[in-house]
Each structure stands twice: as C-alpha cells, then as structure tokens.
Structure 1
Amino acid sequence: MTSIDNSFPIPIDLVIEILARLQAKYIGRCRCVSKLWANILCRQDFTELFLTKSFARPQLLFACLMNDSGLSFFSSSHQPQKILTAIDTTYLTHVPKTYQVCGTINGLICLKGIRIFKGCMNPASALVLCNPTTRESLPLPKMKTTRRKENDVKSYFGYVPTEKQFKVLSMTLPVKGNSEGHQVLTFRTDKKLSWRMITRCIPHRPDRNWGICISGVLYYTAVVIEESLEVITVVVCFDFGSEKFSVLKVMETFKRTLPNTTTPVNYNGKLGLLMTEESNWVINGISRYFELWVLEDAGKHEWSNHEIVLSYHPTMPHYVFYYNIERDTVRVARIRGMEGVKGNGCRIFLNHVETVELIQNILVR
C-alpha cells in the first residue's frame, strides 16, 4: 500500500490570517521559527491586519509612575459584565527615566523624560517612543531648544491616517508669555529624522501636556490674553496633516473654568472635554462632580453638555467607574494585579490596542 502525501504548501495569505489571530506575546517567538516566518511577521500588511483585529478588542492602559522616576505600564480588558466585578491587569513593560505620557496612538506611546545627550554636560528634556507590547523603546532626536527644565517643553503625539504617518509636536515655554519654537518631528520619511520649525502659529500658552489626537487633528487646552487683558481658556487645534493651528470657540462656562481641571478625551470619535471647577488639578478619586462637553459640530462651534455627580470612596483607590450617559447607570470594577502601585501615581488611557509594529520600521520608511 502506498502512502498519500497530503503536505500541500499553505498559502501565504492563509498563514498571515492564522498568525494574526495569535496573542501579541507569541508573535516575537514566531519570528524565530524561520526566515520565512520572520519575513511574514515583519511585513506591513501583517502589521496592519493585526492592528485591525486589535481595534476589535480595546483595552485599558495604566501608566504608573514608580519611585525611580520611571513609568510602568499595565493593560486590562475594560468590558466588565456585572454591576460589581474585577478586572485583571497584565504587566507590559517599564521605561526608566521617563515620567510623563505625551500621547498614545495605535498601540504606541510617546513619553517625556530627562537624559544627558551626547556632547552635553547637563540633562535636558527628552522624548522616547515606546511599544509596550514588544517592550521596545527608543529615544528620539533632541529638540532644537536651549530650555533644559522638563516643564519648559510641551510635546504632543499625533497620527495622520491618510498618510499612515506618526508625528510629534513640541514647543518651548518661556518664563512668561506665549509658547515659541514650535517644531514637528515626522516618522516614516525618506529624509533624516529631525525636527522642523513651524512658523504659522497662533499666540497661546498650553496649560499641560495632555491632549488628544482624533482623525489627525490634535486638541489641547491653552490660555490666551485678549485685548482687554482678560486671560481665558481656549481649545487649540493642530492639524498634523496640514501642520496648521486654529482655535475653537468655546462656551462661556468653559472660559471661566480653570484650565488645570480640563481634560480632553475621545468621545465616540468626537472631541470631549471633562471639566470640573474643583481645585484637584485633574478629575480623580476625590472629585465630587464633573461636566462633559462634546463638540457636536466643529464648523458651527456647537457643543452639548452632560453633568455627572460622583460620590467619594477614599478606601477604594484601585477601582474603575464606568458611567453610561445614555442609561444614567454606573458600573464599578476592582483592579487586580496593581496592589503595589499607588493610586495617585497612575493615569488611565482608554481604547489602547496591541501592535506588533517594530519601532525601527516606524522611524524610517
């Protein structure tokens, strides 16, 4: 009896589809199987397919400031099914000498820290690009500025969907006055990775590093001085595609709100502003209430408003509260796996996704 050979070669498209269903932590191991698999898993079409599948299972991302001035990252699914349940976190990576998240997009994180550059005597503000899934991190080129203190530089992370291009906007802040030295760093370019000056700017002073990039447009709060010398809060827009600034008209309530207590968020693809007039700097576990303003029409500068009243639970530092605006309901989930982390040293980012993109493939085309 003769045996029948059923070892037909598997089509590459089918291999890609199978591997894209694996968890991200196994992709690195699969790259070591053979040169063929390594080439497949480094292809741009595989990276984009894996990212597309990741968008269907978004996660919470926790950025926790540790005692050594570095950031540790944890992730967790954020779809609790019961009124009170627990969500388990997974440790991702630790990036030393960083202390602030400038933005997180498509699974990548831009961080700010302090380091000593080659040829310099004193430490200066520095940016780091990190992929917490692959545990890669790489310092970015030094910004063209003479400012050395970490709070003298503001940086924001962005992405242009039409060009599939990541960018960083940075600016320096003098002791007094508006921001200056606006510069852009573009990834995936044929040219040398370096900062470019942006000259068409609107006089303003960003209040914090916190911003949100939605469909290629960056939004962050800032203060401006009107002709009457009144200092008001505005929303500054920066189009990463055209690299132009603009300002959104805001409601009178927002003009009177302290800029330190306003946080921009992505609300179902629209710009949302979480605001409170309490002096907590940010909306956190001791906030009593906050308002959510949603930009319904950017052309007409129309906003909708929701007010949420909270209760304070001082003994519950590691819980996540889910408030459903349409149903007016609250779900509570206890966070497990972060018991050794102080609650006031963490920031939570929604809709984090895993990407297997290698950083060296992002910086150059």
Structure 2
Amino acid sequence: MEDSQPSLVHAGNSTTTRTIPFDLIIEILSLLPGKSLFRFQSVSKQWFSTIRSKFFVDLFQTRSKSRPRLLLTLYLGDAEEQFIFSAPEHTDDDKSSSSVMARYDMPISAPGYNLTSGSVNGFVCFRGVSCHTIAVYNPTTRQIVKLPDVTPNGRYMYACLGYDPVEDQYKVLCVMMFGSERQDMQPEHFVCTVSSSQKQEWRKIENPTGVDYRCIFGDKCIDGALYYEVGRQSRIVRFDVRSEKIQFIKTPKESNMYWSTFINYKGKLGSVDYSCTENLMTLWVLEDVEKQEWSSMMFVLPSKWEDLPETDVVSKGLIHTGELMVFIPWLESSKPFYPFYVCYYDFYKESTRKFEIRGMKDVDLRRINGQMFCYPGHIENIRFL
C-alpha cells in the first residue's frame, strides 16, 4: 500500500479516484499499540520517518496517557532474571469483568538487574544487584541505555529516574550511602543525563544542607522533581531534575511516613499512612513546597480491607481514576496457581473493588524467591533516547 496514493474504483462505465488523507492515517496510527507501529515502519520510507518523528512520538505519548497501564515486574532471585508485564488499569466502565489480562512485554537480558521504582513516561530504571551498573529501559521499544559504571567503594547504591519537562530530558540520580558503621561519612549524590547519542558521565552534586542519611525508601517523580523518603529521620528529599538542586522537606509531626506510600495526588506529593489496628488511613498532601505546608485527610477503611493479607499488601500509587492501587502479590511456592490481585480504594466513596490479573500463571515464572512488584500509571512510549 502506497501512502495516500489514489485507488481506482470502477462503478459501471465510470471510474472514480479515492484516496486516504495522510492526516487520517496519522490519526489512526496514533491509536494503535506500540508493537503494531514498529511493524508498520516497514510499509514505506514515509511511514518510517513519520512514526519516528518527534511530532508523532509526542502525539502517541499524549494518547497513551489516556490509556495508562499497570507495570508488573517479576524478579527471580535464584536465577537473577527479570520479566516485565503490563496490564490495563480498570475503570468504572469495566463492571462486567472482574479480571484483566497481562501482556508479556520483555525480559531483561542482562542478569542481576532489579527495578528500583515505577515508570516515568514509560521508561524504567534498573540497577545491578551484584554489579555496579545502572540502565534505563523502554519496554515498548525494548531500547536499553546503559549508563557508565559507578564505583560504590563498599557503599550502598540507590538509583532513581527523573524527567525534566522544560528541557525534555531524562536524568538518573544515584546516591551512595555508607551503613551505620560509618557515621562520619555523608551520602554522595551523582547525576547522569540519559542519552544514547551523546557521551554520558556522572556529575557529582553538592548537598548544601549537610543532612546525613543511611537508607532510602521509594521515590516518585512529579512535575520535574524527584521525591524519596529518608529512613527514620522524618525527612523527604526533593531533587529538582532541571536545576539538579537538593532540598530537604520535613514531614508532619503527626505523620508516620516511615515505609509509607508516596503518590502523585493531583500533581502534588502525597503520602498514605496505614493504621490497620485502628482500621484507618491518612492521606497527607504537600500543599506548598517552599513553606513545607501539609494538609491531611483521614479515611475509615472498608470492612473488605480486613480480608486482605496485611503482610503481602503493597501500594505504589493512584490509578487514573484517582483510586489507590493495592497489589496483592503471589509469594508462596506452595500455591503455584494462586492468582495475582489488584485492589482499588476510592477515597471519597470509601469503597474497594478487586480484580484478578490473568496471564501470569506460567509455571516457569513461579519459582521460589520470586519477587513481584506492581506500579500504576505506566504508558507506552515509542521514543528512543
């Protein structure tokens, strides 16, 4: 099929010419899944250049944000293998079904890599478990950008991916920390801009506050800033991706944000505290970054919440409907066919709904020491870095 070429249609003794406008072709292509687009690149040179153009990549990303997915990763510790799946996020319109079908997106070919957090515009950051390598993956294009090796020198390494919407750049923040045995050593912070076409290098950035910390829990990228929790210090680190500046934010005295869940709540940093003994949940929202002002809302957990296995419940954020996603992973090798579940909690209706994630019952993926994580808000992105 030639692009926008006329086709002859015979009607009796007359012949008419009918064409498909290329603008309409672009509109149709933008609604297709990423895997289909990569097949259609071979249709013609024009299709290839169109699908790879910045205009189309941006258009496809905008459309993808309207159909977000769950990102699921399975890490097999014994074999040091990583598998990436994705599944649709459920909406209120899906009342006729109580399950979603997962799609196998890609394996991580390099052994020893583990996911550090959820996706940022469809990209995910992995760090080596037993090596000193950090890489950024795109499950849609299957592109892998390996960053320069780092030298921990006996320190614990944490890496997280951030995005600067102003300069349209992705950067990885790497933090090197000593354990409790080296109280005299402060953590060091390094930044690397992610690009496969330019020379990459780690840049050390200063910590003007001089605040020391030994461990990090979770991270969330919101509107050009990375947030992560500092263990047992009632502080949150804010890293501005564009300026590469570090800021420390105090958590409310009444909160219990140790091991809490960071979420993107209407474009602001939110944190969810659970009190299963009191059957309560508190949502904290950082209303003003500079003034470090927080607001809070308390919710009574529904009775169905008590049926969830508390030790296995993991929450990683909100889905596009504004509901809190709770993931119930399979962890017991004695139950090889035990299903995976996601549970969505509506803050305002104070109600829950649960769905099974199907398509992940392959026996080869159900091994001892398997570790499963689930993150909402993942999108397909056909951009190459």
Deviation of residue 8 (structure 1)? 5.2
**Aligned match for 2:95, one of 82, 101, 112:** 82
CA distance in 2, matches of 1:183, 1:353: 27
- 2:282 alignment partner in structure 1: 291
Deviation of residue 125 (structure 1)? 2.0
- 1:227 alignment partner in structure 2: none
Q: Aligned residues: percent identity?
A: 29
1:1-365 counterparts in 2 under 5 A?
Answer: 4=15, 6=17, 10-11=21-22, 13-66=23-76, 67-80=78-91, 81-82=94-95, 85-96=98-109, 97=111, 98-114=113-129, 124-143=131-150, 145-147=151-153, 152-175=156-179, 176-177=182-183, 179-188=186-195, 192-202=199-209, 203-205=211-213, 207-208=215-216, 210-223=218-231, 232-254=233-255, 257=256, 259=258, 261-276=259-274, 290-300=281-291, 301-307=293-299, 309=301, 310-314=305-309, 317=330, 318-340=340-362, 345-358=371-384, 362=385
The AA in structure 1 aligned to 2:33 is Q
Deviation of residue 83 (structure 1)? 8.8
Deviation of residue 4 (structure 1)? 4.2
Deviation of residue 148 (structure 1)? 5.6
The AA in structure 2 aligned to 1:93 is M
* SS of residue in 2 equivalent to 1:345: strand
Contact 2:140 2:382 in 1 (8 A): yes
* SS of residue in 2 equivalent to 1:45: helix
- When the two chains are superposed, the root-mean-square deviation of aligned CA atoms in Å is 3.0
Q: 1:83 to 1:34 in 2, by over 3 A?
A: closer
The AA in structure 1 aligned to 2:68 is P
Contact 1:103 1:158 in 2 (8 A): no
Q: 1:43 to 1:51 in 2, by over 3 A?
A: same
CA distance in 2, matches of 1:240, 1:325: 30
Aligned residues: 330
* TM norm structure 1: 0.80
Contact 2:134 2:147 in 1 (8 A): yes
* SS of residue in 2 equivalent to 1:192: coil
CA distance in 2, matches of 1:334, 1:10: 42
* SS of residue in 2 equivalent to 1:16: helix
Contact 1:206 1:221 in 2 (8 A): no
CA distance in 2, matches of 1:131, 1:138: 9
* SS of residue in 2 equivalent to 1:47: helix
Q: 1:59 to 1:179 in 2, by over 3 A?
A: farther
Deviation of residue 54 (structure 1)? 0.3
CA distance in 1, matches of 2:370, 2:95: 26
The AA in structure 2 aligned to 1:76 is A
CA distance in 1, matches of 2:202, 2:208: 16
CA distance in 2, matches of 1:34, 1:273: 49
* TM norm structure 2: 0.77
Q: 1:239 to 1:38 in 2, by over 3 A?
A: same
Contact 2:145 2:196 in 1 (8 A): no
Which range moved further: 154-163 or 128-137?
128-137
Deviations 1:10-65 (A, max 9, x none): 44x44322321212110110112222211111111111100000001111111111
Q: What runs of 5+ residues in structure 1 fail to find an aligned partner?
A: 115-122, 224-230, 279-285
Q: 1:50 to 1:196 in 2, by over 3 A?
A: same
CA distance in 2, matches of 1:248, 1:90: 39
Deviations 1:181-214 (A, max 9, x none): 3111113598521111112443232633520010
CA distance in 2, matches of 1:195, 1:291: 39
Deviations 1:223-256 (A, max 9, x none): 4xxxxxxx622111111111111122221133xx
